[in-house]
């Protein structure tokens, strides 16, 4: 019998697909039979510097998730390496929604506060209230990664809900970024900063705090000037070529 053209190639593909399915089934069975042990942050030693063996484990995410929303990497007990004790307990009540958007072009969402000041080594508790019907987030970046996976503290509240969480800041003067992780919400006003001690300078584009690109007293970055000059030269060359 004469085979149709390409039938041998099709049969090979079918055989390969069957082998892949069998291999994937065995891999899934092995994963399903394994166990993963997660150590919550409450089980760690009082001082983070006493034990570092688990700091880089992704499984160390301390997450609470329910109908109200999500709290990730909350920490009320474990001190950063450079803190001997809690200097002060600080609490903020933060509201989020369209009612808190600043009256400026492009602002749709906002926080009731866009800047927070705390002492070094303070324990900070955030009560986050979402007054919209879409979910919003209050996410802080730049915390020590050995203590907070990915350097992050994260609150997310569903529409009309309230969540709360706690974190402890290090002893250095620093300014930390706060934003909603939904990019469109951040670009339209949900951005803030946490200033620890004297801070390390304002972040760009914080509503009501800093300009969208640079502070007015700052000069335009050298790289931006070079890029603009290159664009002008390219445009001139294109015009010259067109005329020729």
154 lies in some domain: yes
Q: Are strands 191-196 and 89-97 parallel, antiparallel or unpaired?
A: unpaired
The H or E element that residue 103 is part of is none
The model's confidence at residue 209, banded by pLDDT at 50, 70 and 90, is: confident
Residue 89: phi and psi, rounded to 5, are -95, 125
5 lies in some domain: no
Per-residue confidence (pLDDT) for residue 57, from 0 to 100: 37
Averaged pLDDT for residues 108-136: 95
136 lies in some domain: yes
* Domain of residue 45, residue span: 41-196
- Looking at residue 156, which CATH number applies to its domain? 2.60.40.420
| Nearest residue to 48 via CA among 88, 89, 84 | 84
**Longest Cα pair distance anywhere in the chain, in angstroms?**
87
The model's confidence at residue 19, banded by pLDDT at 50, 70 and 90, is: low
The model's confidence at residue 5, banded by pLDDT at 50, 70 and 90, is: very low
Per-residue confidence (pLDDT) for residue 194, from 0 to 100: 98
24 lies in some domain: no
229 lies in some domain: no
How far is the C-alpha of 200 from the C-alpha of 206, rounded, in Å?
15
Residue 143 CB partners (closer than 8 Å, separation 6+): 151, 152, 153, 167, 169, 170, 176
Are 109 and 181 within 8 A, CB to CB?
no
Q: How many domains does the chain have?
A: 1
| Model confidence pTM above 0.85 | no
Per-residue confidence (pLDDT) for residue 87, from 0 to 100: 98
112 lies in some domain: yes
Per-residue confidence (pLDDT) for residue 55, from 0 to 100: 37
Averaged pLDDT for residues 34-42: 37
105 lies in some domain: yes
79 lies in some domain: yes
The model's confidence at residue 187, banded by pLDDT at 50, 70 and 90, is: confident
Highest mean pLDDT among 59-73, 112-126, 219-233: 112-126
């Amino acid at each position: 019998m004469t085979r149709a053209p390409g039938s041998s190639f099709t049969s090979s593909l079918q055989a390969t697909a069957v082998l892949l399915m069998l291999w994937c089934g065995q891999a899934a069975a092995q994963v399903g039979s394994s166990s993963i042990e997660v150590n919550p942050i409450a089980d760690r030693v009082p001082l983070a510097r006493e034990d570092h063996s688990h700091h880089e484990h992704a499984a160390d995410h301390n997450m609470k998730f329910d109908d109200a929303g999500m709290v990730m990497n909350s920490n009320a007990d474990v001190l950063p390496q450079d803190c001997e004790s809690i200097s002060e307990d600080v609490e903020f009540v933060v509201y989020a929604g369209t009612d808190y958007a600043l009256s400026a072009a492009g602002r749709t969402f906002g926080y009731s506060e866009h800047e927070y000041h705390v002492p070094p080594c303070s324990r900070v508790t955030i009560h986050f209230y979402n007054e919209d019907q879409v979910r919003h987030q209050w996410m802080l970046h730049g915390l020590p990664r050995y203590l907070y996976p990915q350097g992050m503290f994260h609150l997310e509240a569903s529409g009309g809900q309230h969540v709360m969480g706690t974190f402890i800041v290090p002893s250095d003067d620093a300014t930390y970024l706060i934003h909603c992780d939904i990019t469109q919400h951040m670009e339209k006003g949900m951005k803030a900063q946490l200033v620890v001690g004297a801070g390390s300078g304002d972040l760009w584009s914080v509503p009501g705090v800093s300009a969208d690109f640079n502070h007015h007293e700052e000069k335009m970055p050298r790289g931006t000037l070079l890029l603009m000059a290159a664009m002008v030269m390219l445009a001139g060359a294109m015009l010259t070529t067109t005329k020729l």
